[in-house]
A and B are shown apart, each in its own frame.
Chain A
């Protein structure tokens, strides 16, 4: 545990430094960067994505992945539009959307735990299925003109924050605290790390792996339903392609946070920092004359930084061992293999 804590703290401190650097660079290249107006805009654009990273973190730590998040967002957005157009009461709509989100997550969870299907493949299927349901619900139509009480969350800031914080960011902060407590301070959260490290060992230790994973997927569905509602009100639009393509960004941010794709490692603090880094960098680039055609390259570079940076310590340690001053080989190396430390792609870092 202390080992994991140590390595986590190392990466989180690196991330914090990165956020700081991005902040400094941002302020340098544009006087607009830290204005309340810009912070508000960034919060608007990234609020829902940030919220979706929280359950994704828990799912990846437990050794799975959920690529259907953006489609659940879209499906719930479509549902909101369709029901609103049918003059359902808003509270009733919220209740139904929550149920649908939970159900969508449950389907994912059951396919993964009961049928034993790989979550990567299954959620590619549900990505299409849920987006397809959104298309069936709305067809070619768009629903707009939602009540101002709700669409105002895309216009007004949270009071007492100097017009800088959006409601979605406020929700993100609240949820981050909740997820953080659950992950780091409850037995359930600890069980996720165990499941990610080795599902078998976890099962033998008495952890109810299948139940916990299903719960995670259901929570993800619920949170994505919330994100769908926020998205719809912010844009005052329910259309079939709301949120298309967001899943890659969500996964990229979670990976940037130092959450290991193999499971068993990661922290909520890292995720919050990664959201700040990601959103901050995109905003800084937009405020300069950076050619947006290259924006994807920056995201990719950040991702590479996140994996190579984490391994830099390990790599440098190995380099040191191979300095000419140490001619002997380590025990256990097959003598026939002349190459440096046998690199393997799949050993967890």
Chain B
């Protein structure tokens, strides 16, 4: 993860005025439209082979499956933008999913909102631990969150042991959350889209959000410019943890059965979604909407593989191949974009 020519050139132009801001906005739009185009092409190709791919029920399936990953992608984006990584999201999700869903069985009649808050709290606590270690300890986040990946999962297994939360202990209203739809679009998907939108707005329009980009582009410069880098990074990890905690509760609502393995392996999928969505792995650029679209694209690819009925033994290989293609396409878009921006930037000076 050393600085290379590549990462430096991926940085958006410094926010030095309205023209530059418009440029940045355009940059984000182009990246996101790029992903949307890829998504549309992929859906079109799949639907032409198997029209039932576009059934309303299948679209609902895809949207619901994506919600957890889109949420995780939002949190991960904030962290990655600041040139950090949070590998512990899967373990945090698993811990939160069990502990919060278990509340229904322990305290009959507990309001669903309380359970969501509990999940949020658990995630927040984990994010706090990550954040403190990364920001105060001056240690690489990849190592810290790899360690907490092991530790949180270990704590989860210790607490849960061989127990599991089963669907019959969860209130129907909770399990029905993924079911509710309005005009065929799942309520949950709309809610998550709103959350992503809020996150994206925060990153783009609040000073503390924009400072994350600065920290990711050049941490030393950011610090010298007076940005409280420690506090910002700490906050990013807290938010990532809190989001993973809420995602855990949603996970429990979707699957109904929760044991100590929930969320295993999710961190690699979330990183993939974030990269496909145009967030630079070295920090400094990327958008939350792009990351969410990346999660949507990857889930759409999964669904397509299963709906097309390609031999199940080929699924994983095709998935890996398409992931590499998606990353390459995104890189291609970003390179062209950077070149175009540089030309424009030069013209504006």
Contact = CB atoms under 8 A, between A and B. Distances in A.
The answer to A–B direct touch (Cβ < 8 A) is yes
Interface of A: 63, 65, 67, 111, 115-118, 120-122, 124-133, 135-136, 139-140, 195-200, 248, 251-252, 255, 260-264, 291, 293-301, 303-304, 306-308, 311, 314-315, 332, 334, 336-337, 339, 342-349
Nearest to B88: A300
B170 interface: no
Contacts of B328: 111, 115, 117
A171 B272 CA distance: 35
Contact of A294 (B154, B314, B315): B154
A303 B146 contact: yes
Given A117-B327, A128-B320, A339-B228, 7 more contacts: A121-B327, A124-B271, A127-B320, A133-B317, A263-B2, A297-B154, A344-B230
Interface string B14-46: 000000000000000000000000000000000
A121 B271 CA distance: 7
A264 B319 CA distance: 33
What is the interface of chain A mostly: helix, strand, loop, or mixed?
helix
Given A300-B150, A300-B151, A135 B2 contact: no
Interface residues of B, number: 68
Given A295-B154, A342-B229, A345-B138, A199 B275 contact: no
Contact of A135 (B153, B230, B316, B327): B316
B118 to A, nearest CB: 23
B195 interface: no
Interface in B297-314: 313-314
A345 B146 contact: no
B215 A344 contact: yes
A311 B138 contact: yes
B4 interface: yes
Contacts of B233: 344-345
B157 A343 contact: no
Contacts of A300: 146-151, 154
A200 B5 contact: yes
Interface in B159-202: 161
Contacts of B147: 299-301, 303-304, 307
A304 B138 contact: no
Interface string B80-106: 001110000000000000000000000
Nearest to B160: A293
Given A296-B157, A308-B139, A344-B233, A122 B6 contact: no
A63 B316 contact: no
Contacts of A306: 143
B343 interface: no
Of listed A195, A199, A299, A343, residue having the most chain B CB within 10 A: A343
B223 A128 contact: no
Contacts, number: 221
A262 B1 contact: yes
A347 B158 contact: no
Contacts of B153: 296
28 contacts: A111-B324, A117-B324, A117-B327, A120-B1, A125-B272, A132-B315, A132-B320, A135-B316, A252-B150, A261-B1, A261-B140, A264-B2, A297-B151, A300-B147, A304-B133, A307-B137, A308-B133, A311-B137, A315-B138, A334-B226, A342-B223, A344-B230, A345-B82, A345-B83, A345-B141, A345-B229, A346-B216, A349-B138
Interface string B203-233: 0000000000001100110111010111101
B136 A343 contact: yes
Contacts of B219: 344-347
A200 B226 CA distance: 28
A335 B146 CA distance: 35
Interface of B: 1-6, 82-84, 133-144, 146-151, 153-155, 157-158, 161, 215-216, 219-220, 222-224, 226, 228-231, 233, 268, 271-272, 275, 281-283, 313-321, 323-324, 327-328, 331, 335
B324 to A, nearest CB: 4
Residue of B1, B135, B272, B315 with most partner-chain A CB within 10 A = B1
A146 B333 CA distance: 49
A307 B275 contact: no
Contacts of B143: 255, 261, 303, 306-307
A132 B317 contact: yes
A237 to B, nearest CB: 18
A343 B230 contact: yes
A199 B323 CA distance: 26
Given A255-B143, A307-B144, A345-B138, A63 B2 contact: yes
B331 A115 contact: yes
A127 B324 CA distance: 10
B138 A299 contact: no
A343 B158 CA distance: 33
B277 to A, nearest CB: 11
B317 A251 contact: no
B323 A124 contact: yes
Contacts of B282: 118
A307 to B, nearest CB: 4
Nearest to B326: A125
A294 B320 contact: no
A263 B3 CA distance: 10
B154 A296 contact: yes
A255 B224 contact: no
B316 A121 contact: no
A294 B157 contact: yes
5 cross-chain pairs, A with B, having the tightest CB-CB distances, nearest first: A132-B317, A129-B320, A128-B320, A300-B150, A132-B316
Contact of A63 (B1, B82, B138, B157): B1
